[in-house]
């Protein structure tokens, strides 16, 4: 890493980070999920702790070791993630939504395992919308003046889509990744552009997720009151 000695520039600050991917259950054995590993969110948690922050990491279905000195709150679904983030955000200086949150969940949950029947085609799965946690936090700002950061993975028109998304969500910073073959999901490395609500664009070259995390904290630190 480029940083030699870590500056404790987040000392006295509380940051909340969501990581991983939500799972939306259909029945006791099945769920709708996504491919997020949680590595970027954990890198954000480690680097924030190294810079002196008190860190709450809301972890959705990750299989990674708890970072030292970090408060880890495990969650499953988007609704549980929302509750945990809102609870922690009321005392946070910054909230970073690195988790992949399911946009929809099954409208019904079957208390018993769904069985196949020889003489019948399967029922379609009806979906309903999940709450948009990033938009809610950005609008309500549980603590006045807090900095709110979102992540977006896009496949086409990455910057234009990112700019539109940042405005729609109302966050201060949006980290935009282009999703491709070797990029993002499960990998150790990442490449991104961080868009600011002030019109700024900070490119982060392909490299370790830690390096992107450090850039995010550099940009957050400048925006803290
Ligand atoms: N997010 C959230 N709650 C949701 C969905 C997304 O808080 N229900 C957050 C993610 O954690 C991420 C950001 O919003 O920080 C952008 O997620 P993304 O899926 O790219 O945005 P969407 O608004 O869901 O748009 P899309 O239709 O492209 O999925
Ligand atoms: Ca989405």
List the CATH number of the domain containing 154: 3.40.50.10300
For residue 134, the ligand 1 atom closest to its alpha carbon is 7
In a domain, 169, yes or no: yes
Cβ–ligand 1 contact at 136 (below 6 Å): no
How far is ligand 2, taken at its centre, from the CA of residue 62, in Å?
18
In a domain, 110, yes or no: no
From 88, 160, 165, 166, mutation site for ligand 1 pocket: most ligand atoms within 8 A of C-beta: 165
Query: Could you give the angle at which helices 133-140 and 78-89 cross, rounded to 10 degrees?
Result: 20
What is the three-class DSSP state of 161?
Answer: helix
Ligand nearest to the CA of 166: 1
In a domain, 109, yes or no: no
pLDDT < 50 positions in the chain? 1
* Confidence at residue 2, expressed as pLDDT on a 0 to 100 scale: 52
What is the three-class DSSP state of 1?
Answer: coil
CA distance 45 to 217: 10
Beta strand 104-106 with 127-129 is: antiparallel
DSSP line for 5-66: SPP-TTTT-EEEEEEEB--EEEETTEEE-----SHHHHHHHHHHHHTT-EEEEEEES--SPP
In a domain, 140, yes or no: yes
Secondary-structure breakdown of the chain: helix, strand, coil percentages, each rounded to the nearest 5 = 25, 30, 45
In a domain, 112, yes or no: no
Concerning whether 34 is annotated as a catalytic residue, the answer is: yes
Question: Alpha-carbon torsion 210, 38, 150, 194, what sign?
Answer: positive
**Helices in the chain by DSSP H: which ranges?**
39-50, 78-89, 133-140, 158-169, 209-223
Domain that holds residue 61: 14-104+124-223
In a domain, 218, yes or no: yes
Ligand nearest to the CA of 97: 1
Per the structure, the count of domains in the chain is 1
In a domain, 1, yes or no: no
Cβ–ligand 1 contact at 132 (below 6 Å): yes
How far is ligand 2, taken at its centre, from the CA of residue 101, in Å?
6
CA distance 188 to 202: 20
Q: CB–CB of 176/162 below 8 Å?
A: yes
* Confidence at residue 190, expressed as pLDDT on a 0 to 100 scale: 86
* Confidence at residue 56, expressed as pLDDT on a 0 to 100 scale: 98
pLDDT, tens digit (0-9, with 9 covering 90-100), for 6-21: 889 999 999 999 999 9
* Confidence at residue 183, expressed as pLDDT on a 0 to 100 scale: 58
CA distance 197 to 174: 8
Residue nearest to atom 23 of ligand 1 (CA): 165
Question: Model pTM?
Answer: 0.95
Cβ–ligand 1 contact at 174 (below 6 Å): no
In a domain, 128, yes or no: yes
């Amino acid at each position: 890493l480029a940083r030699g000695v870590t500056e404790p520039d987040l000392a006295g600050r509380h940051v909340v980070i969501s990581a991983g991917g939500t799972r939306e259950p259909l029945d006791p054995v099945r769920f709708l999920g996504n491919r997020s590993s949680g590595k970027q969110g954990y890198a954000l948690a480690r680097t924030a702790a190294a810079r002196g922050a008190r860190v709450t990491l809301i972890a959705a279905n990750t299989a990674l070791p708890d970072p030292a000195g970090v408060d880890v709150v495990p969650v499953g679904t988007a609704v549980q993630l929302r509750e945990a983030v809102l609870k922690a955000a009321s005392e946070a200086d910054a909230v970073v939504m690195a988790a992949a949150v399911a946009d929809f969940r099954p409208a019904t949950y079957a208390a018993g395992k769904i069985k196949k029947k020889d003489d019948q085609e399967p029922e379609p799965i009806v979906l309903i919308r999940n709450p948009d946690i990033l938009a809610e936090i950005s609008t309500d700002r549980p603590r006045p003046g807090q900095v709110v950061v979102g992540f977006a993975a896009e496949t086409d028109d990455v910057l234009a889509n990112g700019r539109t998304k940042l405005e729609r969500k109302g966050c201060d910073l949006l980290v935009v990744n282009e999703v491709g073959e070797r990029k993002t999901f499960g990998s150790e490395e990442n490449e991104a552009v961080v868009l600011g609500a002030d019109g700024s664009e900070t490119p982060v070259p392909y490299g370790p997720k830690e390096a992107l995390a450090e850039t995010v904290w550099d940009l957050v630190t400048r925006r803290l009151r």
